Chains A and B, each alone.
Chain A
């Protein structure tokens, strides 16, 4: 606590602090808050992007839900929107679960000391370092139905009788998208878990080893509870990231309805269909869905993310 004589000094420091924060806050207002507000507003208008938002009329909830001549219109009654929500939830749920399990396994392996460990650790970083568009293209080529190496190997091994349409078949294309995402983001998970593992005290493990406790039991009873906070934060980050997925799905399967996510849907309305109104309404719904999931995950995991203590 500052003494009475230091109070003016503190007041001056607070003024200086706001002056230092102002440029950053101003830029964020311009490039984040204002565009978001504009998007939400456009969702209630019949604007088209070609008209630069000028001359747009307020239409209320029509972009979300409206009835004309006994027929319902709007994003909320579009079956493809709900399919996109479902696709996104399936994608996020399955890929984050797989990444978490695989990430913990890879981290446990990398936590051991063995010759060449630094090289293995470096090689694990490779998928993370590859741009998403590039990894989508690389896998699109490997999963190519006619010339892809994946089909060639599976055929050679006799595991499949004929080539599979990895990126065209409705079910397989979702499998492919999840596969590529898991490949690309497991390193992130593994690195965060590894960082948590390396902060654990080693003497606990010595004690467990001396007592002859089975390694799996040690993992479940000791390691897992200790790395749980780091794991929760990593899962929250990855889940929010997966819910807004765009690049991977768009490059791997384009606007295919079977894998279309919420972001791909909103962009299609906005750009391909040139409908700023419904596109913005869909984009607003994306924010709401993600916020809802974030609240649910945070409540479940009781992660204290925004808490800022010096």
Chain B
């Protein structure tokens, strides 16, 4: 393959293909969600009749508004707890050199490589013994295993880049570590907190296996489980219009969020992966 120059027809075609493949499926889902019952089963590219009937049906047939609220509550709480725990730990891991630090960081990183299924039965028993089965609190607790390792890792990476002189001055003035974190680091760290928090939010918002296993009733389900379990009269009559409507409802906010913060997310991902 020779590399076509920008401006040439070949280059434009490659760019167009990339955009079409990336965005096409989502646009098709939007079109399906706008189609009425009859138009759905004639395969084609354009909706026969634009209708919001599917969107209304999603909220009518199941507690979808409740599912969205559940997802927001769990993801929000997980982000807050993860960041609070991670920022103090990351401060110690990044700024103080002590024996066992590398091992500790390595262990934390290896937890983020855990297959979720490996803790499934143990986590199930933990959640049940705490009386948190089929509750949002139990789900949030289990999500800490997914979000905490990489928030610690990313914030540690960010904190290492802040010059040492800053905190040394504060420490010499007799400030305690929590004061140093609050007064010196948090103001510098908030872009990192936003991108780390956003990635943690996305992980919690998208999580499926724990949510499927640790909840039982429609009222405690989060959005991914609710969408996966939308069913019709039989296996072969899935209400695709409604499934696509639900999909569009939960996807559009994520896309807006990701695009609005895209530079920070990319810098967060690369800090977590490339420099790691």
Please list the residues of chain A having a beta carbon within 8 angstroms of any beta carbon in chain B.
13-14, 16-18, 20-21, 23-25, 27-28, 30-32, 34-39, 42, 49, 52-53, 106, 108-109, 112-114, 116, 120-135, 137-139, 141-142, 144, 146-149, 151-152, 183, 187-188, 191-192, 195-196, 214-216, 219, 230, 233-234, 237, 240, 243-244, 246-247, 250-251, 262-263, 266-267, 270-271, 276, 279-280, 283-284, 286-287, 290, 294, 305-308, 310
Contact = CB atoms under 8 A, between A and B. Distances in A.
A32 B105 contact: no
Q: Interface centre among B123, B141, B244, B257, by most A CB within 10 Å?
A: B123
Interface stretch (B57-65, B83-91, B188-196): B83-91
B23 A263 contact: no
A270 B91 contact: no
Contacts of A192: 269-270, 273-274
30 contacts: A14-B96, A20-B92, A23-B85, A23-B88, A23-B89, A28-B149, A35-B119, A36-B119, A38-B126, A122-B259, A130-B254, A131-B205, A132-B206, A133-B225, A133-B227, A141-B243, A152-B43, A191-B266, A192-B269, A195-B266, A215-B3, A240-B113, A243-B115, A246-B116, A283-B120, A290-B113, A290-B115, A305-B109, A306-B109, A306-B110
Given A130-B26, A134-B250, A233-B273, A21 B110 contact: no
Interface of B: 1-3, 6-7, 11, 14-15, 18-19, 21-23, 25-26, 28-29, 32, 40-45, 85-86, 88-89, 91-94, 96-98, 101-102, 104-106, 108-111, 113-126, 128-129, 141-142, 144-145, 148-149, 152, 160, 176-177, 202, 205-206, 208-209, 213, 223-225, 227-228, 240, 243-244, 247, 250-251, 254-255, 257-259, 262, 266, 269-270, 273-274, 276
Contact of A151 (B43, B123, B177, B262): B43
A244 B274 contact: no
Chain A contact residues: helix, strand, loop or mixed: helix
Given A18-B92, A20-B177, A270-B121, A287 B114 contact: yes
Q: Interface centre among A31, A112, A116, A219, by most B CB within 10 Å?
A: A31
Given A191-B266, A243-B115, A52 B160 contact: no
A36 B32 CA distance: 42
Contact of B85 (A17, A27, A234, A308): A27
B262 to A, nearest CB: 6
Chain B contact residues: helix, strand, loop or mixed: helix
Contacts, number: 294
A123 B117 contact: no
A130 B255 contact: yes
Contact of A129 (B101, B119, B255): B255
Contacts of B276: 233, 305
Contacts of A114: 6-7, 11, 15
A21 B247 CA distance: 39
A127 B21 CA distance: 9
Nearest to B258: A129
A127 B106 CA distance: 30
B126 A267 contact: no
A21 B93 contact: yes
A52 B126 CA distance: 9
